[in-house]
Structure 1
């Protein structure tokens, strides 16, 4: 087994997989996942709503917006309807680069994230805290002179310093041309998410990496200089969809003018 894979402490990618009903997790992940669910019962709904948001956003970008390049940072473990599957269903020639730094994600991604014959799917082992390394590694798969959809779903919450998180987004978006898009989701203690505070404190004591919530204003600052697409910043469950319930996870898609 890869010596970077730790089975003695819960890890976000595996716990998220557990919440989505997957099997790529260990007893420690299930224990922490069940504890968090006990404190914050809607966490499974958050995970499913985030995945459904990804599907709607990528379908729009590959279709109506005509985007053919996707940079998905913080991929997580492969599950149903991954970014490349959604994009290549609409545009078989779409090119996708996944980025994660968890070795178990890397192992599964190499096996499961296979491209359509017309398109390309690649995987980069890199950390979201190092956007320069990511940008240097995306070629030759992505052409940064052509529009790119930069996907950061549930990843900036692991960048604990908000100024640093803004800098990461700015570095990435400065490197892509006009017509590129930024796709974001992020947990919040707003939108009925107040009960998540205790669960996040438990997470930070019992799992890795540490996490934080952000306010609407903090989330909005990640889109500074970009054009928010309708309906703006909403619960990710409500982005271009009428859900039965909202979840405490902001979602937004913004275009670089």
Structure 2
């Protein structure tokens, strides 16, 4: 399998491990990411996921996108029924995933990043959707997710020129990247961000993520409805009582995810 899964405390690190092919997505990678997300969702001990790429002999790379050799013969094999391209870009899930990007994340690699909830990138990271240069369309979410993350005109320029020189510093400037790190430190930065998230109650984190996704582009009445439903769900949990008790006792809460 070309995808590794490692649980570090409450954080699941999912690594695309195909360095000889620049971590490009083929059938094995797509199925591996889907299986890893399945494991993340099913594991009560895993509260946050991180998606990253293995280091290659030629340096850091997150993902070079679709395996063009397979594209010529079996493009559908790079997608799964549940997750879409890479087993991830269309995946319904409840737990947050951080993309840890060292080196290029190009074409489908950028689209994997856009499907994550947050992004930590090193200064070596670079993004781009060059599909038009191959008479293709960025069909794994890039054409509508990118203009939601950065200004529309900038996204349009990247989509129509296929440029491959959108660096991490500029992505950070426009808000696509949450945290900028030095070379080789993206995973460490993502782990630090994930640890901050795991200090919060996991059920509240998942519900808050859900509301942000579902309510952001909707009228306020939808936001009020979802927020009200969300807080009512929290009132009926064991962690609600733990949160209040820990505050009164002036100690760190011990979350159970129940």
Q: Do the two structures share a fold, i.e. TM-score over 0.5?
A: no
TM-score by length of 1: 0.27
Which of the pair has the greater relative contact order for Cα pairs under 8 Å at 6+ separation?
Answer: 1
TM-score by length of 2: 0.27
Q: Which has the higher helix share?
A: 2
Report which of the two structures shows the higher radius of gyration computed on alpha carbons: 2
